Structure 1
Amino acid sequence: MLAMTTACVLLGACATKPLIPYSTDTPPLILAPATQAGIADQRGRFREIYCAVLEARGSEVPDNRPCVDALTRLANEPPPTGKPVDLGQSRRHLIAVVVPGVGYDCFRAWLDSPNGVVTHLRRFGFDGTMLEVDALPSSTNNARQIRDALMAMPAPDGPPRIVLIGYSKGAPDILEALVAYPEIRSRIAAVVSAAGAVGGSPLADDAEQYQADLLRHFPGATCTPGDRGAVQSLRPATRKAWLAQNPLPTGLRYYSVVTFPQPEHISSILKSSYDKLSRVDPRNDSQVIFYDQLIPGSTLLAYVNADHWALAVPIARTHPTIGALFVTQNAYPREALTEAILRFVEEQLTDPKK
């Protein structure tokens, strides 16, 4: 998604054709309440855990904010459970393995961001790493890279510890890997969509691959075009057809963290893409509509009050001038959010009834 937005900014504007073009080449679809679509709603418990983390960590984590402002409360959120929250050392020593979105490898050197999330997680017995995938190819290409990276890791000597977190296009890349390569499943404790483009984005219908390829000219970029399939992989027709034809493997735990920012929490540079996507639905994070971020049959953890970049790309921390002028809503307590995700997953893995 970052590639498409940056390309549109560089070009001045993208095309104005319909974001969702007329087509009969689509599987039957339905927009239904999440609970009627097999989604387990655990927002109440996750809010308890995340709020406890934010309160306990305070100024220890950058960009901390009150819990009421960190999450967006939608109607019918389940009530809190009242159960205590364990903020001690991890017993499962879960590892957050993040698969990034389009273009990340092109601007990673420019971002030059110390991995504060990993440092934070290690304080509490967790760990984290970035799984490198190509920046501009298709989900099919990147699924193979995910498979190879996971198989190169030491096999677990007990229960699996890897929590695969797919950000943006990283989510469909992960889902394709799970379907295509069953040998990786025993190594995975859980799968999380974090602002994942699970159902694609209508913005991809309004973009071409050459626009994403502009990121190859980003200062310091070393990324290659690969099969040049990133934009096609993100088109809603592609993603929804893939989901219809590829049931996700059972026996794994799937979770969804959805970005659903209040409009004032959209960075100024992302306003144009937010407005464009609002022609379909204003409940978007500037890149993906909220309902397209859910993994089918997953557990819904949260609606996060952050735009698409704020969730995972800490631009303003290393480039404060750009932050002040363009990514004006980039501050978000990512370290605390990742800790809360791992604590929720660990709680569920520990309790066989959940």
Structure 2
Amino acid sequence: MRKPRSGHAFGTLVIAGVCLLLGACASKPLVPYSTDTPPLVLVPAAQAGVADKRARFREIYCAVLEARQGLPDHRPCEEVLTRVGEEPAGTGRPVDLGASRRHLIAAVVPGVGFDCVEKWLASPGTSTAHVRQFGYDQVLIKVDALSGTSINARQIRDALLAMPEEPGPARMVLLGYSKGAPDILEAIVTYPEIRHRVAAVVSVAGAVGGSALANDAEQYQADLLRHFPGANCQSGDGGAVESLRPAVRRQWLASNPLPNDVRYYSLATFPQPERISSVLKSSYRKLARIDARNDSQVIFYDQIIPGSDLMAYINADHWGLVLPIARSHATIGALFVTENAYPREALLEAVLRFVEEDLSNE
């Protein structure tokens, strides 16, 4: 009699299966020929209204790493960030590592399938516990795992309005990971009643311009995540994959100028090739047919919010930046997510300290 697979083993197979489906070779182009597109141009960030603030973010992140060497997955500062082009010189100003004055709250909007894998992931919540020591907080905004951006934008709006409104300056920093970034941008554009509650929006490896991998994928492949051990997710409107196609995202950006009463920041992944986990290498190579400067899911320039402040290029792949898979699943870490170690707690603290300082300079 065949022995049943454990939840961990089945989870491993599902992870590998989804990645192979999304990253497998195909004969058709990743970006098919089409004239149904807004006029596009790829220009240096400054010419797209993006302010380069990498130097100050590096100073803050390095100071946090130096002070918090006991945190998990510690790495030297030069290894956690990627220097791209001519990075500006540092300011030399001291970094305040004391208690927060504004008490910002990191409200995380996750990417595709998170509800399906949340229980299996078994995240210990160490990032939340860490930043609370300094007067910050972190919460998760629940959105449909497999729906498109419109439904999720409404869910973000409802979640924000359900939170108690406190006096003083806005404290909510919306962190959009992967598809969470376009979900947030659509919420900000569609529901002006939430803007006064939002201190800032941060794209965290966000699929702002979509991912060409979605051009060669179908929703049924994403729906495989519903079979994860302990998965508690539904197909929703079935629009997740469609909403990530570059043509859809770029048309949305062209038709929906972002309101200027919200501050926008971008934290992009730009890993060294050796920092790509083995399970993600097939999707990395597939996307490299367009540009090798990708994190296995999104090309680096498609992660930037137009008109935002560029915080950093992170030396981590798409999963390594946010998902602590290897911490709770050591075997999967050793075999599949082989580059999953990243100092996420220190990164979250640095992001919140940077945003707080930058907002105070307004």
TM-score exceeds 0.5: yes
The count of corresponding residues between Structure 1 and Structure 2 is: 349
CA–CA distance in 1 between the matches of 2:19 and 2:26? Answer: 9
State the 1:9 CA deviation: 2.5
CA–CA distance in 1 between the matches of 2:336 and 2:226? Answer: 21
Structure 1 counterpart of 2:322, one-letter code: A
Partner of 1:95 in structure 2?
A: 105
Question: What is the TM-score with the length of structure 1 in the denominator?
Answer: 0.97
Partner of 2:282 in structure 1?
A: 272
State the 1:58 CA deviation: 0.5
CA–CA distance in 1 between the matches of 2:96 and 2:69? Answer: 17
State the 1:14 CA deviation: 5.9
Whether 1:69 and 2:79 are equivalent positions in the alignment is yes
Structure 1 counterpart of 2:68, one-letter code: R
Contact 1:14-1:206 at 8 Å conserved across structures: no
1:234-276, CA deviations, whole angstroms, 9 ceiling, x for partnerless residues?
0000000000000001111100000000000000000000000
Question: What is the TM-score with the length of structure 2 in the denominator?
Answer: 0.94
Whether 1:79 and 2:85 are equivalent positions in the alignment is no
State the 1:163 CA deviation: 0.3
CA–CA distance in 2 between the matches of 1:44 and 1:203? Answer: 32
Whether 1:256 and 2:266 are equivalent positions in the alignment is yes
CA–CA distance in 2 between the matches of 1:328 and 1:18? Answer: 29
**1:56 maps to which of 55, 67, 74:** 67
- Determine helix, strand or coil for the equivalent of 2:267: strand
1:39-72, CA deviations, whole angstroms, 9 ceiling, x for partnerless residues?
000000100000000000011x100100000000
Contact 2:161-2:194 at 8 Å conserved across structures: yes
Whether 1:111 and 2:121 are equivalent positions in the alignment is yes
CA–CA distance in 1 between the matches of 2:276 and 2:313? Answer: 15
Residue identity over aligned pairs, in percent, reads: 71
Partner of 1:217 in structure 2?
A: 227
Partner of 2:49 in structure 1?
A: 38
Q: Can you give the 5+ residue segments of structure 2 that lack an aligned partner in the other structure?
A: 1-13
Partner of 1:173 in structure 2?
A: 183
State the 1:5 CA deviation: 7.5
Structural mapping, 1:229-240, within 5 Å: 229-240=239-250
**2:157 maps to which of 135, 147, 157:** 147
CA–CA distance in 2 between the matches of 1:161 and 1:11? Answer: 37
1:186-233, CA deviations, whole angstroms, 9 ceiling, x for partnerless residues?
000000000000000000001000100111111111100010000000
Q: Which runs of 4+ in 1 moved over 4 A?
A: 3-6
- Determine helix, strand or coil for the equivalent of 2:320: helix
Contact 2:19-2:279 at 8 Å conserved across structures: no
Partner of 1:13 in structure 2?
A: 24
State the 1:7 CA deviation: 1.8
Partner of 1:156 in structure 2?
A: 166
CA–CA distance in 1 between the matches of 2:34 and 2:121? Answer: 39
RMSD across aligned C-alpha pairs, in angstroms? 1.3
State the 1:8 CA deviation: 3.9
